[in-house]
Structure 1
Amino acid sequence: MVESTHEANLQSQTLTFKAETKQLLDILIHSLYTEREVFLRELISNAADALTRMQFILLTEREVVDPEVELKITLIPEPEKRILRIIDTGIGMTAEEMIENLGTIAHSGARAFIQAVKETQANPNDIIGQFGVGFYSAFMVADQIEVISRSYQPNASAARWYSRGQETFQVEPAEKTNRGTEVILYLKEDANEFTQSVRLREIIKKHSEYIPYPIYLGDDQQPVNRQSALWRQPAKEIKPEDYESFYKQLTLDFQPPLFHLHLVIDAPVQVYALLYIPASPERGLLSARQEEGLKLYARKVLIQEYNRDLLPSFFRFVDGVVDSEDLPLNVSRESVQATRLLAQLKRILTTRLIEALKNWAKEKPADYITFWQRFGRYIREGIATDEEFGELLTPLLRFPTLYKPDQWLSLDDYILTMPARQNKIYYLISDSVGSALNSPHLEIYRRHHYDVLLLTDPMDPFMMLHLKKYQNLEIANAATEELSPPDTTSEAQETEKKPLSTEDEARLISRIKSILGDRVADVRTTQRLDESPARLVGRQGDPPQELQRLYRLLNADQSIPQLVLEINPFHPLIHYLNTLPETDPLFRLSVEQIYEGMLLLEGLHPNPNDMVKRQYEILLHALKAKHQQE
């Protein structure tokens, strides 16, 4: 390197850094960056800042060096010399500015920072704050750094800054007639990869794709980066195919997304976001995004590849990018300080996305149902687990119902169809829609003409522990709700005999208890049933049905809870049972079959195959009786 002293007003100087530089550089280089490639992101970002400042000056001043020159960044690799040059045509620096900007690591607080690391043994990422020392990350890959710069000011002289990353640096005159800054890295032996064009393109594409100035590589005439960030463009200027193309580039998912949301928000924080809901919750083998999280940019510079703090976990299936001018970054740009601003961003993005989904459901209900069938479990999870946003998610729920089992109704749809006398929203938890429709619990609701939500997802019991009201209406479990029969007599009861006498009822209950023993908590009659001979219900004081189901799901509990068997005194099967003598084996078989049939309908039977053998026995008795009559 040739020293130049042609400038009379600037002498070569060897200066000492204004902080415990060696120690601080060791921390910066070895502790703060998990990937060495980020040095290039930092230098390109610094160059872009210099270009932005120059662009602003050009709006008001014409007495500048090279007023017509293109605002650009150029990377020149020299593999044979193990050198990488990063050149910009930005604002440039004088010698004094070099001393101030490059000779002072952390204008204040350096000693306090080092002391805190020593005393607390904390991760520097957690305590360093904003020091603006990304330039020094280049010492991860370089033994020496040289900076040659010419200020935009016509009367300023060019200067050269040089350091080996130790206690001192040099500043001296330089030969440079054009405006801007050239950073020259003399790379370490193990860092020659950063002179390879393929590798440099890869890093630029990953971290600096949307820097708003062209980045040229070597003698290439075409910029490496796109420059224009789709999420920062006005939505009215973007075509649907552009959104889809960007999604496929982002994810390598060749299926078009189900939905996208483009946000441009100025207050209370400035944020640009482009969020996508994929076609499937399962990521393909070739997906470019194998982890959950959004790409986080600050001023178009990629900060985090997978940020999981910008949306709640129940929206983890969402892909996209978020970009903000207001993010405070820590020294390495590899993580964002845990500030209220990040929490504010999360609230804004989440509430806007929920509102957008609600509008989508109204405008394109068929498309929304496709989303619900594929991603509804995540919405249920949000209601069950997220105290902050769970209530906002409730309008997004969709259910089949007793009277519309092949449709998907929202809670608002359900309320619109409620009879005037109905004052609660009813639901039934079951293993499938078919099982639910055959549940004896629903017979009383048919008589009242009350619709019932049918909940069949494994997440539903957990969700219903938290979903207690909607629009000031209580949400009640149809299986446990004490609903009295309507005033009118049911059709089944009109065509049936009178119920059992008090004596017969007591005797039959006693006989059934003797068969089932402690498998049931009690046996009693009920007026709620029409077509079914019996049903199983919980005892008063038992944990809610939702909690019991959840416990069985989480603990794989195969034990059968002790429930109350309620029998229908109007049902012909109960009447025939009452007529069977004590010694008839058909009585025992029938009681067992009724009980286990109810277990099956409740999803509680541990081994339904056991019922098959008993069915054969019952058929055999019936056929024998028929034969004897003939």
Structure 2
Amino acid sequence: MPTETFEFQVEARQLLQLMIHSVYSNKDVFLRELVSNASDALDKLRLAALRDDSLDADVSDLHIELEIDRDARTLTVRDNGIGMSYDEVGQLIGTIANSGTAEFLRELRQAQDAAGAEGLIGQFGVGFYSAFMVADEVTLLTRRAGERQGTRWTSRGEGTYTLETVDDAPQGTSVTLHLKPADPDNQLHDYASVWKIKEIVKRYSDFITWPVRLVGERGEDGEAAGPETLNSMKALWARSRDEVSEDEYHELYKHISHDWRDPLQTIQLQAEGTFEYQALLFLPSHAPHDLFTRDFRRGVQLYVKRVFIMDDCEALLPPYLRFVKGVVDAQDLSLNVSREILQQDRHIRMMQRRLTKKVLSSVKSMMTDDAERYATFWREFGTVLKEGLVTDSDNRDALLAVASFATTHGDEETVTLKQYVERMRDGQDDIYYITGESRESIDNSPHMEAFRERGIEVLLLTDPVDEVWVDAVGEYEGKRLRSIAKGEIDLGAQGDEKAGEDREKQAEEYAGLLGWMRERLDEDVKEVRLSTRLTVSPACLVADSSDLTPALESMYRAMGQEVPRTKRILELNADHALVKGLNQAYREREDRSELTESAELLYTLAMLAEGGRPKDPARFVRLMADRLERTL
């Protein structure tokens, strides 16, 4: 087949231009990415050979080679792994199918430092393109294991690339970088230098399980540069804690996660007995940009007897721990295990239970030992962790123990449910909470007025999942979790014992108005009653204790589940001048047509106060304008 020339996809072309023309002080990351790609190719070939005895592939000496030609200024990264077919090269190298590429380009332009750019390169799966940071031209030669013909891909990163088939390509993939001219003023970034290549491999790829060998004819002194194995190949998860430095753990985390920042916590576990396995897990220091997207790749790496099995083993941790990265190496699983089998395997289920408990206990220890680190963790991952309160009843108590929430007790500090209960006032039987879109909106909610006046602490819950987990949990240590926006609230016996001695008298005085408003607002409310929770506002809307909240209704509808519209209860503040005036007008006037508009306005104001939207905004504006005009 003759050589063919193709154009890069538009986003790939933009990416290449950024790679080539942007200047990052730490360009070393390109070699880490190419070595990682080669390591993945070796893992895939070894697994394929174990699963398919008929695969015509040489697996006797799987390794990675680095070859430097200082005179020609080339660096070649070569592996004898799985390789790629002609079509795969076009799909994987010629285009970027990643849906997050546009986001990557935006973040890469905004990256203010070298570390930021380094992390983004790996995070978005564009590691191969990082070669163009240091090379004027890149040539890739590859042959897929089991096939006879190979493929050569060449590009200068200027918008086009060429593809051709070759007959004599060795199994695996070699990437040859025609390096940019050396900068005499910056020898620290001379990638045709043997010492520089050794330094990068030692820093980033020492833990790669395959040998990384330096080979070649010419080094700085003109003599042979190898073969020399540059990495220790020691699996960090199989070594004791005192044998491994924090820097080594951090580099393994970065290799696995493609995150440029150090992890927040390193968790090591060694299970012995009838079923043995080792685990090295990491809690990141920040949430990935796509944590809540459907395409987020979750799970940890699974090895069996040091043989790589799969990259994102979802079965090892529950979905609410999807941010955890790491490695699990089991001794007794089948090497031919598939994702389907994993879901059924009792050993996998046993490992998931143990790993989940280990992660949660580590978070709990962090709460006690390092409040600042815990605060960072909860800020980044608290929302996703709370999903477990709904889905994982077995670990619900452990999750509640590590959860913390904003409250009316302080502006910045979050508190645990245990701390809340310890601060409860004498006679208080319930844990009060309110949900909403933001701290500001619920801080100013009319429902908060009586609680603020009496100094009763309220949990302020602003995550969408909060609408769900509070119902699923129900109580904590025998104390009911109770929404201050649902049901009737009577704080008379809790606090200053300000009970409504004249409540019966008020109820009798307002009975006519309440019944009349109930009839006029029948389409929107199920009941109109006097409020015990309002001290400043004239009215508010509350739900029955068993009703769905408006936010939960909206959530279900967004998921495609149709739920009937729930009428709510309109509560009036009998001590407010507006409500007093409305009641007096009702009692004195026979023509109540104007009062009907007043009732409608009062209901709409209550809806606006909680962030709702008027049913007929134009009518509401017209009524308000008329009322304002009459007051002038």
| Code of the aligned partner of 2:379 | Q
The equivalent residue for 2:631 is 622
- What is the CA deviation profile of residues 40-95 of structure 1, one whole-angstrom value per residue up to 9, with x for unaligned ones? 467799xxxxxxxxxxxxxxxxxxxxxxxxxx968799xxxxxx999xxxxxxxxx
Counterpart residue number, 1:599: 607
Are residues 227 and 402 of structure 1, via their aligned partners in 2, closer, same or farther at CA, if it must alter by over 3 Å? same
Pick closer, same or farther for the CA change 1:196–1:304 going to 2, 3 Å: closer
Query: Is structure 2 residue 282 aligned with structure 1 residue 273?
Result: no
In 2, the alpha carbon distance for the partners of 1:272 and 1:488 equals 53
Does the residue aligned with 1:518 lie in a helix, a strand or coil? coil
Q: Distance in 2 between matches of 1:525 and 1:332?
A: 62
Question: Please, which runs of 5 or more residues in structure 1 have no aligned partner?
Answer: 1-33, 46-71, 78-83, 87-138, 144-188, 200-204, 624-630
Q: 1:268 to 1:441 in 2, by over 3 A?
A: farther
Is residue 523–residue 566 contact of structure 1 (8 Å, CA) maintained in 2?
yes
Q: 1:328–1:336: 8 Å Cα contact kept in structure 2?
A: no
Give the alignment of 1:35-184 within 5 angstroms. Answer: 38-40=44-46, 141=146
- Does 2:534 correspond to 1:526? no
State the shift of 1:350 in Å: 0.8
- Going from structure 1 to structure 2, the CA distance change for 1:305 and 1:493 (only over 3 Å counts) comes to closer
Distance 2:533 2:147 in 1: 82
Q: 2:249 aligns with which of 243, 251, 257?
A: 243
User: SS where residue 250 of structure 1 aligns?
Assistant: helix
Matched, 1:590 2:598: yes
Partner of 2:568: 563
Counterpart AA for 1:299:
K
1:465 aligns with 2:471: yes
Q: Distance in 1 between matches of 2:375 and 2:236?
A: 28
Confirm or deny that 1:221 pairs with 2:227. yes
User: Aligned residue for 1:578?
Assistant: 583
Alpha carbons 2:62, 2:210 under 8 Å: kept: no
Q: How many residues align?
A: 454
Residues 338 and 489 from structure 1, CA distance in 2 versus in 1: closer, same or farther, beyond 3 angstroms? closer
Q: Structure 1 residue 388 and structure 2 residue 394: aligned?
A: yes
What is the Cα deviation at residue 293 of structure 1? 1.9
SS of structure 2 residue aligned to 1:420: coil
SS of equivalent residue, structure 2 residue 382: helix
Aligned equivalent of 2:462, options 437, 456, 459:
456
Partner of 1:516: 521
Within-5 A mapping of 1:464-543: 464-487=470-493, 504-539=509-544, 542=547
The 8 Å contact of residues 487 and 542 in structure 2, kept in 1 or not, is answered as no
Aligned to 1:113: none
Residue identity matched to 1:301: V
8 Å CA contact 2:364–2:402 kept in 1: the answer is: yes
Q: Distance in 2 between matches of 1:451 and 1:386?
A: 28
User: Is contact 2:43-2:308 (8 Å) kept?
Assistant: no
The structure-2 alpha-carbon separation of the partners of 1:216 and 1:250, relative to structure 1 and needing over 3 Å to count, comes to same
CA contact (8 A) 1:275 1:319 kept: yes
Alignment match, 1:351? 357
Displacement of 1:403: 3.0
Name the CA distance, whole Å, in 2 between partners of 1:74 and 1:518.
Answer: 74
State the shift of 1:453 in Å: 1.0
Alpha-carbon distance change, 445 to 549 in structure 1, aligned in 2, over 3 angstroms: farther
Distance change >3 Å, CA 622–CA 209, structure 1 → 2: same
SS at match of 1:245: helix
CA contact (8 A) 1:73 1:213 kept: no
Q: Percent identity?
A: 29
Compared CA separation, residues 529 and 309, structure 1 to 2 (3 A): same
Residues 555, 233 of structure 1: alpha-carbon distance in 2 compared, 3 angstrom cutoff: same
Question: Distance in 2 between the 1:620 and 1:312 partners?
Answer: 60
Shift of 1:296: 1.1
2:486 and 2:626 mapped to 1: Cα distance?
34
Residue 141 to residue 226, structure 1, CA distance change in 2 (3 Å): farther
Whole-angstrom distance in 2 between the partners of 1:343 and 1:190: 48
1:177 alignment partner in structure 2: none
User: Deviations for 1:396-448, whole angstroms, at most 9, x for unmatched residues?
Assistant: 22211133343211111211211232222121122222222233333343455
Q: Mark the CA change 1:607 to 1:209 in structure 2 (over 3 Å): closer, same or farther.
A: farther
Cα deviation, residue 550, structure 1 = 4.3
State the SS of the aligned residue for 1:328.
coil
Which amino acid is 2:438 matched to?
S
Which stretch of the first structure deviates more once superposed, 329-338 or 613-622? 329-338
Equivalent residue, structure 1, for 2:383: 377
* Counterpart contact for 2:556–2:562, Cα < 8 Å: yes
* TM-fit CA distance, 1:353: 0.3
Summarize the Cα distance change of 1:506–1:368 in structure 2 as closer, same or farther, 3 Å threshold: same
Task: Measure the CA separation in 2 of the matches of 1:193 and 1:290.
Answer: 35
- Give the TM-score taking structure 1 as reference length: 0.61
Alignment of 1:251-290 (within 5 A): 251-267=257-273, 269-283=275-289
- Alignment check: 8 A CA contact 1:536 1:566 kept: yes
What is the letter of the counterpart of residue 194 of structure 1?
A: Q
Instruction: Write the distance in 2 (CA, Å) between the matches of 1:349 and 1:292.
Output: 15
Q: What is the 5 A alignment of 1:266-415?
A: 266-267=272-273, 269-283=275-289, 291-330=297-336, 338-415=344-421
- The whole-number CA distance in structure 1 between the counterparts of 2:385 and 2:62 is 47
TM-score if structure 2 supplies the norm length? 0.60
Contact 1:428 1:479 in 2 (8 A): yes
CA distance in 2, matches of 1:337, 1:567: 55
> Which of these residues, 229, 232, 242, is aligned with residue 238 of structure 2?
232
Q: Structure 1 residues 591-600 or 475-484, which shifts more?
A: 475-484
What root-mean-square deviation, in Å, do the aligned CA atoms of Structure 1 and Structure 2 show? 4.6
* 1:493/1:570 contact within 8 Å kept: no
Secondary structure of 2:414's match? coil
- Paired AA for residue 590 in structure 1: S
- Alpha-carbon deviation of 1:336? 5.6
Using the TM superposition, give the Cα deviation of residue 270 of structure 1 relative to its aligned residue in structure 2, in angstroms.
2.8
Distance 1:587 1:76, change over 3 A: closer
Give the direction of change, closer, same or farther, for the CA distance of 1:222–1:381 in structure 2 (3 Å limit): same
Give 1:521 deviation, angstroms: 1.5
- Decide whether aligned partners of structure 1 residues 213 and 462 sit closer, same or farther in structure 2, where only a CA change above 3 A counts: closer
The alignment partner of 1:406 has SS state of strand
Q: Which amino acid aligns with 1:430?
A: G
The equivalent of 1:150 in structure 2 is: none
